[in-house]
Amino acid sequence: MNERWRVFVGSASTRLGAEVCERLETAPAAYECRRFPDGEMQVEIPAPLAGCDVFLLQSTSPPVERHLMEFLLLADACRRAGASRLTAVIPYLGYARQDRRVERRSLGARVMASVIATAGLDRLMLMDVHTSATEGFFDIPLEHLTAVPLLARAAAPSMRENSVVVAPDLGAVRRAREYARLLDLPMAFVHKTRLSGADVQAHGIVGDVRNRAPLIVDDMLSTGATVEAAIGALRAAGAVEPICVAVTHALLVGRARDVLRHLPIARLIVGDTVPIEPPAVRQLEVTSVAPLIATAIQRASRDESLSDLCVPA
């Protein structure tokens, strides 16, 4: 590891960051995050960073506001400590689903981008953001990394001649197309309407799924409602087991664990972009994205191309 590199790991990504640093043959850089009695945070860097190429690894996972504020304070402290270049690696970007204007609702993805811009970053790395349109909200150079090849490789042993890749909604079609290419499988997608943050309704399937075993792919699994609706629609259309699911971000909030327990899912393959807290989910298999992030950091520090690590154009 070059002595001019530093990798700071935020509290939302402790386990992932430790594995990334192990692959980079370094230790996470030290910093202190203290809280005042009124709840305010303060971050301090104990050593100067003059001339250092600094990478900040922190997911903005739940609780989003706390992890975002820690990230912003850490970035500010690194700048004040003299970092020559500052790159943020955000494996999971909170608020990314709020990417379209609907009447008088807030546009959360745009607000998040504006807040992150105040950190004084030189470069930003995100992973499998909900939609590539989110990139347009940022004014700084952005690398949109993807865990799809890692997850497709993990899913491959379960794929059969009658397997089919399924996007659970229109927004996941582009991602499903890449899985289908990597696994050399046909593709289908589900027509879905979101009724609320926790409720969705599937209207039908586009593509041939009869007597086929589906691999449902998406960027995230939050409450499980989308997967639940997709499986219902697939079974009604004649799909057969085993049913597998692959997602990059396993948020597993709300009633997700109860939903998953009652679904006929043989394998649930997920990335470790957010910490997965107990209780365990029977079908869960975690595929680490640490090799991808470590490679991206190594190349970025050398000003090498990351194009083969990113979402295809």
Residues whose CB is less than 8 angstroms from the CB of residue 132 and which lie 6 or more positions away in sequence, other chains included = 144, 174, 311
Q: Give the pLDDT confidence of 137-148 residue by residue, as tens digits.
A: 899 999 999 999
Q: Give the pLDDT confidence of 132-172 residue by residue, as tens digits.
A: 878 888 999 999 999 999 999 999 999 999 999 999 988 89
What is the distance between the alpha carbons of residues 219 and 221, in angstroms, rounded to a whole number?
7
Q: Which of 96, 164, 151 is closest to 272 using CA atoms?
A: 151
pLDDT at 187: 97
Q: Give the pLDDT confidence of 55-101 residue by residue, as tens digits.
A: 999 999 999 999 999 999 999 999 999 999 999 999 999 999 888 88
Q: At 3, is the pLDDT very low, low, confident or very high (cuts 50, 70, 90)?
A: low
What is the distance between the alpha carbons of residues 176 and 160, in angstroms, rounded to a whole number?
17
What is the distance between the alpha carbons of residues 248 and 246, in angstroms, rounded to a whole number?
7
Angle between helix 64-80 and 108-117 (nearest 10)? 20
Q: Does 243 qualify as catalytic in the annotation?
A: no
Q: At 9, is the pLDDT very low, low, confident or very high (cuts 50, 70, 90)?
A: very high
Overall average pLDDT of the 228-250 stretch = 95
Percent of the chain at pLDDT > 70 equals 95
Overall average pLDDT of the 227-235 stretch = 92
158 close to 185: Cβ distance less than 8 angstroms: no
**Residue 164: both structure tokens together:** 């089919």
61-65 long-range contacts, CB within 8 A, separation 24+? 61/12, 61/92, 61/94, 61/251, 61/273, 61/274, 61/275, 62/94, 62/251, 62/253, 62/274, 64/94, 64/95
> 6, 67, 192, 249: which one is catalytic?
192
Position 41: which residue type?
Answer: M
pLDDT at 195: 46
**Residue 267: both structure tokens together:** 């394998």
Q: At 262, is the pLDDT very low, low, confident or very high (cuts 50, 70, 90)?
A: very high
Domains in the chain, ordered, with CATH?
5-146+290-309 (3.40.50.2020), 148-287 (3.40.50.2020)
- Identify each DSSP E strand in the chain by its residue range: 5-9, 32-35, 41-44, 53-57, 85-90, 123-127, 142-145, 163-167, 187-194, 200-206, 213-221, 243-250, 265-271, 284-287
Predicted TM-score of the model (pTM): 0.93
